[in-house]
Structure 1
Amino acid sequence: MGARSRESGAAAPPRPRLRRTAAVLVALAIVGSSGTATGLTVRTLTGRDIPAPAPVAIIAPVPALGPLAAAAPTATATGVGGVLGPLAAARGLGDFTGSVTDPATGAVLWSQDAGTPLVPGSTAKLLTTSAALLTLDPTDRLATRVVSGPDPGTVILVGGGDPTLTALPTDKTGVYPDPARLTALADAVRKATTTPVRRVLVDTSRYTGPTLQPTWDPADVAGGFVTPIEPLMLDGGRKDPTQEDGARVDDPALTAGRALAGMLGADAGSVAEATAAPGASVLGMVTSAPISDLVEHAIRASDNVLAEVLAREVAIERNADPSFEGASAQTLLALSQAGFDTTGAQLVDGSGLSFDDKVPAQLLGAVLAQAAAPAQGARDTQFLRPILTGLPVAGGDGTLVDRFASGSPSAPGRGVVRAKTGTLTGVSSLAGIVTDADGRLLVFALMSNGVNPGLVRPRLDAFAAQLSRCGCR
């Protein structure tokens, strides 16, 4: 598998899709039917009359899950340190840093070298998606257009940054939520044109610079971790749009152009790159799911392509160069301008695939703490909330679906811990939220460099699980 390790481990089972809000489990006990049965009788099979059963009231459903109590006991630094200190002191964690924060008060309850930058792996996506939510309108959508070409019979497919565009028919679904359909775009073009389309060109001018980060392992494309980052692609560049972790194409924009050409009856072999004229008439347009939904999916599935696209869209909105360099710089600037201390942080991509990324645990914790902080008033807009709703549930979905297994030391965290994972060769990180035994919400960020993830990941899971078991007072 080269230098990278898939987030969820080898041979993971299919990941179930969970709703972004927790399901409330209820039980109804209906003992009998109600009514005015006084004085009535029923006949038995033997012909005897016996009194009818008395009416029984229906028991009202009682929710098994509910909101956290605002007055839940506060965890203390002594309590948290007493739980995590021995775990952190044990050997075998390599270069290890971490922090635990109470988002309601902002108090840091435990910290170990949390200001030291380490390679974050995919927990870097927490920074990318936070910058996207702070910069872009969460209701905005990414648009893919077809415009008229330079001569009759030629159209140009213009990439607008949507990697979720799919060529699947409407009765088929891929890995992305509510994707734009290339079939709908083709239908619009057919309705808008009076002459047959003979040629399709593709416009990728929205993004600039290299399409692959120089520090990435080229094997990551064939391995299914990423594809060249272009503003036009189908299903994140996947060859099989139904597989989360399958091989990717190395020419995503041209592949999309050939697919459209096939739908329009044009020559797929003549698809080439071009730049649409500024005033070209629009023949059709389709849009992605809202930015907030894309953020949730990027976090839940640890989607590298989607994270890279969001970083470039941040750069465009901030009038900067939509390249790896520009997107990375603008991600950190957006966070800094929002009040986060980015000291020591270094990003060269938006996905965390590069070993040149360096992030301190305290920055990951600060971003999550702000996302989890209670609203200060009825009109207080929590811009970062989609980060929390996108976090995988321990043992439930996303990149945590096959972790926190029953019978393991981390089992108490199943269904309670929600966290973003980060895994590269020699890199393991876990950052998220957990409710302790007293019903207090805590934020944690844990990072390890230099040790095989197969050895460290279960221990990071156990850290989070122990927080779920303690009152930490």
Structure 2
Amino acid sequence: MPGGVPPTGRRRGGLLGVLATVLVLALAVAGVAVLRPGPVDGWLGGDDSASPGAVDPTEPPPPPVLAAAGANAPAPTPEGVRAALSPLLTSSALGKEVNISVVDAVTGQALYQNGQDTPTIPASTTKLVTAAAVLAARGPAYRIATRVVAGASPGEVVIIGAGDPTLAVNGTGWYPGAGRLDRLATQVKKALGGTAPTKVVVDGSLFPGPVVEPDWDSDIPTGGFGAVITALMTDGARKDPEDKGKGQERYAKPDEAAGRAFAKLLGLPNSAVVIGKAPAAAATAPAAAASASPGTQSAGTELGRVESPPMIRLVEFMLRESDNVVAEALARQVALSRDKPASFVGAAEAVDEMVGELGLPAAESALADGSGLSRANRVTPSLLTDVLTMAAKRTRPELADLFPGLPVAAWSGTLSDRFDRSGEKATTAGAGVVRAKTGTLSGVHAISGVVTTADGRLLAFAVLANKVPVGQDEAQPELDRIATTLARCGCR
């Protein structure tokens, strides 16, 4: 809502030509540059043909180092920001509940606040909290391993889901650099030696369920932008990973579908796939190659494994296209790191706790899922700007790794078709200098990210509108106008 009082101090304890120059804005504070895509060579070792760090060839690469946002750039004043933004917050398109926080990312000073500490439905801006939590909990180099172990009978193999949503069947997978079932099958056949595979047991017990969050809209598992959440799946549960469009059809039982795909690679029919659990020895059994000759493995002995891309890339996948399935998998990694159940409840509790461990106000994060699909989620705008400011200031260096995944205005991800409008409400000035996570549910529109002002100052912002009139198509452009206004003004 307009008329927020901006405090003087921090609260509580051609477009393509332009983009080529300023592609992904300044994301460094006090002389520290943020790199993209980010992983060092040591994280990305292995087969060059399947490098998890490979940049998506459909997206032109940005410069290797982003322009620096120096601490000496002129800072906006609270009065200047209020004068610039207040007229925009009266738009009927945003409805009657608009909570906002704008913060100087260099100093942490609050520049504009209204409802900044109000628990608000964040929609997919929730993913910023999930990203910070999982980067802190697992670290940017962590990989999720999918393993196969020997079953109780000769030829029986057990594939153990560890929550890698990017696992691919073969080289046509949805996610670049993913672990692949065809390579896993090759390892297993070699480890079995002369013993022919007879059965595939699918162990997805790491995720105890439920497979959907109770407060999700009913069409989420089948509408193409979400899926039921299981510990074993391929390509984010997509049925056709070669279809690179949006809203792809998903499997109703992703774990069984992955098991059937693996069985086929082993030369087995669908009837050879059963749901079960790995032998107890599987948790400690060494790899077959190091412990036994081919074909002599005891129950639980590891026969093969493949790994996901590093966590920094998984976070990028989640943020860039607002991947809800990846988000739910990453929230569960936070739960696992804290010995909590890898369920919706366990993951939400773990992420909320991690917020507190980062020194942020845990009371301002009350989550029900990791993606933002649940209408039960509540986050404050000020928590979102806290996360972004902490990442930009590098007080927790691993959090800076959330920036490579943030969509760039008029360039990439969920912002690729925004910030390029013309006319009275033009937002082109935000192109290339706004980098943000968006969020949309029926009646809810949100945006949170970072922006460089005309004077070169880096700001963090969050705008959450929770009562947008149904069918209102102008809410997104209005949010873009707010971010653009910050980009083109000195606000002093």
Say whether the fold is shared (TM-score over 0.5). yes
Output the CA distance in 1 between the equivalents of 2:88 and 2:247: 33
Q: Which runs of 5+ in 2 are unaligned?
A: 1-55, 282-299
Question: Cα–Cα, structure 1 residues 344 and 371, in superposed 2: closer, same or farther, change >3 Å?
Answer: closer
Q: Please point out which of 398, 401, 410 is paired with 2:413.
A: 398
Q: Give the C-alpha shift of residue 344 in structure 1.
A: 4.2
Select 2:327's aligned residue among 292, 296, 307.
Answer: 307
Give 2:400's aligned residue.
Answer: 385
Give the one of 284, 295, 303 matched to 2:315.
295
Within the alignment, does 1:359 sit opposite 2:379 as a pair? yes
Which residue is equivalent to 1:6? none
User: Aligned partners of 1:352, 1:77: CA distance in 2, in Å?
Assistant: 30
- Whole-angstrom CA distance in 2 between matches of 1:413 and 1:245: 27
Which residue number in structure 2 is paired with residue 80 of structure 1? 81
What amino acid is aligned across from residue 214 of structure 1 in structure 2? Answer: P
2:345 alignment partner, SS class:
helix
Match of residue 47 from structure 1: none
Question: What is the rounded CA distance, in whole Å, between the counterparts of 1:104 and 1:350 in structure 2?
Answer: 28
1:250 partner amino acid: A
- Aligned match of 1:49: none
The one of 147, 150, 157 equivalent to 1:148 is: 150
Q: Which residue of 2 aligns with 1:241?
A: 241
Structure 1 unpaired stretches of 5+: 1-13, 25-64
Report the CA distance between 1:277 and its aligned residue.
Answer: 0.8
**1:411-432 CA-partner distances (Å, limit 9, x unpaired):** 1101110000000101100000
Shift of 1:15: 11
Q: Is the Cα–Cα contact under 8 Å of residues 16 and 397 in structure 1 kept in the other structure?
A: no
2:209 counterpart residue number:
209
Q: CA deviation at 1:388?
A: 1.5
Q: Residues 349-382 of structure 1, C-alpha deviation per residue, up to 9 Å, x if partnerless?
A: 1110011111111111111111111x4xxxx651
| CA-CA distance at 1:110 after TM superposition | 0.5
Distance (whole Å) between structure 1 residues aligned to residue 315 and residue 60 of structure 2: 15
Please report how far the alpha carbon of residue 92 of structure 1 lies from its aligned counterpart in structure 2 after TM superposition.
Answer: 3.4
Match of 1:213, SS?
Answer: coil
- Does the aligned pair in 1 maintain the 2:364–2:383 contact within 8 Å? no
Matches within 5 A, 1:294-443: 294-373=314-393, 375=394, 382-407=397-422, 409-443=426-460
Tell me the residue number matched to 2:49: none
Check the 8 A contact 2:126/2:372 in 1, yes or no.
yes
2:200 aligned partner:
200
Higher helix share: 2
Structure 2 residue corresponding to 1:464, chosen from 483, 487, 492: 483
**CA 1:99–1:218 in structure 2 vs 1: closer, same or farther (change >3 Å)?**
same
The question of whether the paired residues in 2 share the 8 Å contact of 1:199 and 1:267 is answered with: no
Alignment CA distance shift 1:315-1:429 (3 Å): same
Deviates more, 1:353-362 or 1:417-426: 353-362
| 2:446 and 2:479 in contact (8 A); partners too | yes
Deviations 1:56-95 (A, max 9, x none): xxxxxxxxx7322331111111111111111123433221
Higher alpha-carbon deviation: 319-328 or 381-390: 381-390
Question: Is contact 1:328-1:347 (8 Å) kept?
Answer: yes
Say if 2:171 is the partner of 1:129.
no
User: For 1:446, what is the secondary structure of its paired residue?
Assistant: strand
Identical positions, percent? 43
Q: Which residue of 2 aligns with 1:17?
A: 59
> Which residue in the other structure is 1:259 paired with?
261
Instruction: From the CA coordinates, give the structure whose radius of gyration is larger.
Output: 1
Q: Distance in 2 between matches of 1:382 and 1:424?
A: 32
How far residue 270 of structure 1 moved from its aligned partner, in angstroms, is 2.9
Aligned to 2:305: 285
CA shift in 2, pair 1:211/1:18, >3 Å: farther
Counterpart position of 2:67: 66
Contact 2:385 2:461 in 1 (8 A): yes
Alignment partner of 1:109: what SS? strand
Q: TM-score, normalised by structure 1?
A: 0.84
| Amino acid in the other structure paired with 1:98 | I
Please state whether the residue corresponding to 1:221 is helix, strand or coil: coil
Q: Distance in 2 between matches of 1:204 and 1:138?
A: 25
